[in-house]
Amino acid sequence: MESRSLADWLVYLENLHPFTIDLGLDRVRKVKNSLCLTPSFPVITVGGTNGKGSICAMLETILSVAGYRVGCYTSPHLLTFNERIRISQQEADSTDICRSFEIIENARLHSNVTLTYFEFGTLAAMHLFLESHVDVAILEIGLGGRLDAVNIFDADCAILASIDLDHMDYLGETREKIGLEKIGIFRKSHFAICSEPDIPPGVQMKINAIGAKFFRINQDFNYSTQDNHQWNFYGPQSNKYALPYPALRGDFQLRNACACLAALDCLSNELPVNNQAIRQGLVETTLKGRFQVLPGSPMVILDVAHNPAAAKVLAKNLEQMESSFKKTYAVIGMLKDKDIASVIQSLKNHIDVWLVGTIHSTRGAQAAEIASMISDITHSNDIYSFSDLSDAYAFAHKQASKNDRICVFGSFYTVSAILAFT
């Protein structure tokens, strides 16, 4: 087989399968079994509508501080594919990824199946984790759970972060239908952590039928806050007091941190972690695009919020800082299959000037389309459309004073474009 660069491989993978998303496990399982990709180390799988990335990042940092060799697989990436596969908190080398792709491609051809871009990445991640002899793997679900490629690997502990409306074309139009897909990562007699406080009745019934060792927030584990910017964790196995707030911004991160500690509590026999590692890990965790504040002035906030639930969280975070700024400029670009109107509705009271850019993807919504929605919902006169997100961002910087702030949101594509621009 001809030698390909990582860029060449990614172009090849994007065009290999007729669909970008093709939920189902039969094809990817054939290749997985052909390569004997069966982990001998604990696997933690993280699913949910929002919060997955934050939970993965906290787990990765805490376990790394505790001295474990950690493999972490997340998606999507913001700047380079290498971000998706990390070993010992280092992005995988392009040469190693290409070598794994080649091995997977040979097995794929032998199995006579096609694989999607995401399925290739999932298999490559596990191949590299096995090759590197990691102590634990953290795997982030791409979409849904039950039929997501990540779910070919049985989780010793599965975490469900939240159940909200997103990807309805694939997962269903109600929280119950979406929840039923997401709990497909739970396994009989294995640990299952749920930090979603409002579980639809049908989802709870299905969880009971699965027979996992199920732990639910507000019932089996919980947290409380203290006046001195500290918090307490009450877990299935232990309690921890006077913990520092996570470095990741937003009150909701305490719920994510609580899920992390509940999982670590359950896995304490296989992966013991001391309190110092937990404290250090919480304050050292970073994650691009989750209310990420860039240095300098005016303040620039990057947030991948792209669904109503995430937009409400972003709105709350903006509100908490509102008194410090005169004006808020929004740089927004979204995909046309998202609930754009609800995102705008959640944020309309916190944005003074709307700068709308087109995402140059087949799924990208046109700037004019989004601008029209903003006008209908907000009745604002400060709405500007741009053919490119970088132009919108440049305009914001020209107009904003040092006492203003710029908030970039709406999609991973949007944040990625601005990170590449800065």
The residue from 284, 304, 328 where one domain ends is 284
Q: Report if residue 413 sits inside a domain.
A: yes
Same domain, 145 and 233: yes
The residue from 218, 251, 284 where one domain ends is 284
Q: Report if residue 408 sits inside a domain.
A: yes
Q: Report if residue 1 sits inside a domain.
A: no
Interatomic CA distance for residues 316 and 321, integer angstroms: 9
Edge to edge, the sheet with strand 383-386 lists 292-294, 299-302, 405-409, 328-332, 353-357, 383-386
Q: Report if residue 186 sits inside a domain.
A: yes
Same domain, 305 and 167: no
Same domain, 226 and 79: yes
User: Domain span at residue 174?
Assistant: 6-284
Dihedral angle over CA of 183, 54, 420, 118, nearest 10: -30
Same domain, 347 and 236: no
**Mean residue pLDDT across the chain:** 94
The residue from 284, 300, 316 where one domain ends is 284
Same domain, 147 and 272: yes
Pairing state between β 292-294 and 239-244: unpaired
Same domain, 302 and 203: no
Q: Report if residue 196 sits inside a domain.
A: yes
Q: Report if residue 17 sits inside a domain.
A: yes
Q: Report if residue 160 sits inside a domain.
A: yes
Which residues touch 284 (CB under 8 Å, ≥6 apart)? Answer: 61, 65, 247
CA atoms in the 13 A half-sphere facing the CB of 262: 31
Three-class SS of 316-356: HHHHHCHHHCCCEEEEECCECCCCHHHHHHHHHHHCCEEEE
Site of tokens 């995988």: 92
258-to-241, 270, 416 alpha-carbon distances in Å:
12, 19, 29
The answer to whether the pTM exceeds 0.75 is yes
| Per-position DSSP letters for 243-275, written without gaps between them | EEPPSS-STTHHHHHHHHHHHHHHTTTTS---H
Which pLDDT value is given to residue 125?
Answer: 98
Count of domains in the chain?
2
For residue 378, the domain's CATH number is 3.90.190.20
Same domain, 307 and 270: no
Same domain, 274 and 306: no
Same domain, 318 and 261: no
Same domain, 104 and 247: yes
Interatomic CA distance for residues 280 and 33, integer angstroms: 38
For residue 10, the domain's CATH number is 3.40.1190.10
Dihedral angle over CA of 277, 261, 292, 410, nearest 10: 160
Judge whether 307 and 49 are in contact, CB under 8 Å. Answer: yes
Which residues touch 9 (CB under 8 Å, ≥6 apart)? Answer: 97, 98, 101
Which residues touch 52 (CB under 8 Å, ≥6 apart)? Answer: 46, 74, 140, 141, 161
Same domain, 359 and 388: yes
Pairing state between β 383-386 and 405-409: unpaired
Q: Tens-of-pLDDT digits for all 422 residues of the chain? A: 468 999 999 999 999 887 777 778 999 999 999 999 999 999 999 999 999 999 999 999 999 999 999 999 999 999 999 999 999 999 999 999 999 999 999 999 999 999 999 999 999 999 999 999 999 999 999 988 899 999 999 999 999 999 887 777 777 889 999 999 999 999 999 999 999 999 999 999 999 999 999 999 999 999 999 877 899 999 999 999 999 999 998 878 999 999 999 999 999 999 999 999 999 999 999 999 999 999 889 999 999 999 999 999 999 999 988 778 999 999 999 999 999 999 999 999 999 999 999 999 888 999 999 999 999 999 999 999 999 999 999 999 999 999 999 999 999 999 999 999 87
Dihedral angle over CA of 371, 374, 379, 385, nearest 10: -20
Same domain, 244 and 321: no
Interatomic CA distance for residues 221 and 251, integer angstroms: 18
Q: Report if residue 366 sits inside a domain.
A: yes
